[in-house]
């Protein structure tokens, strides 16, 4: 069933440096976990694309099987899965996320 949706996801992941599959939009997150990752990315001033999985059930289920990861949000940087909310938050708190983004060549606002 999921070949078309996997191709769509694959294209999003490969044609954007930073993509967040989330519930809702960056301006209006519909779930606390998605909202936390949005706040972190905004804090770091990272340009990213938000993909709202609530727009289609195919997408909502497709991203889970594409990544083999059971929950949403899911953050991709340069085509590589970084993690869900818990991992992103932990990496952010330990200063690893900034290094990961910089290492991937993504522009970030270095916090003063």
**Binding-site positions:** 31
Name residues whose C-beta falls within 8 Å of residue 53's C-beta, 6 or more positions apart in sequence: 21, 22, 23, 59, 60, 63, 72
- Residue 41 and residue 54: Cα distance in Å, rounded? 20
Contact between 64 and another protein (CB under 8 A)?
A: yes
Which residue ranges make up the annotated binding site for [2Fe-2S] cluster? 31
Entry field: residues in the chain: 112
- Of the residues 33, 48, 66, 92, which one makes contact with another protein according to CB under 8 A: 33
Write each residue from 69 to 88 as x if it is in contact with another protein (CB under 8 A), else as -, in one continuous string. xxx---------xxxxxxx-
Distance of closest approach, residue 84 Cβ to another protein, in angstroms: 7
Helix axes 32-43, 85-93, angle to 10 degrees: 30
CB of 68 to another protein, least distance (A): 7
Question: Cβ closer to another protein: 55 or 80?
Answer: 80
Structure tokens belonging to residue 92 = 């952010």
Q: Which residues bind another protein (CB under 8 A)?
A: 33, 64, 68-71, 81-87, 90-91
């Amino acid at each position: 069933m999921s070949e078309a949706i996997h191709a769509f996801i694959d294209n999003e992941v490969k044609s954007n440096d930073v993509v967040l599959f989330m519930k809702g939009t960056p301006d209006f997150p519909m779930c606390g976990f998605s909202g936390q990752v949005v706040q972190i990315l905004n804090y770091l001033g990272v340009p990213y694309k938000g993909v709202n999985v609530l727009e289609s059930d195919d997408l909502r289920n497709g991203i889970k099987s594409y990544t083999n990861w059971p929950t949403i949000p899911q953050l991709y940087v340069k085509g590589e899965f970084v993690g869900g909310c818990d991992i992103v938050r932990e990496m952010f708190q330990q200063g690893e996320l900034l290094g990961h983004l910089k290492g991937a060549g993504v522009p970030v606002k270095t916090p003063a």
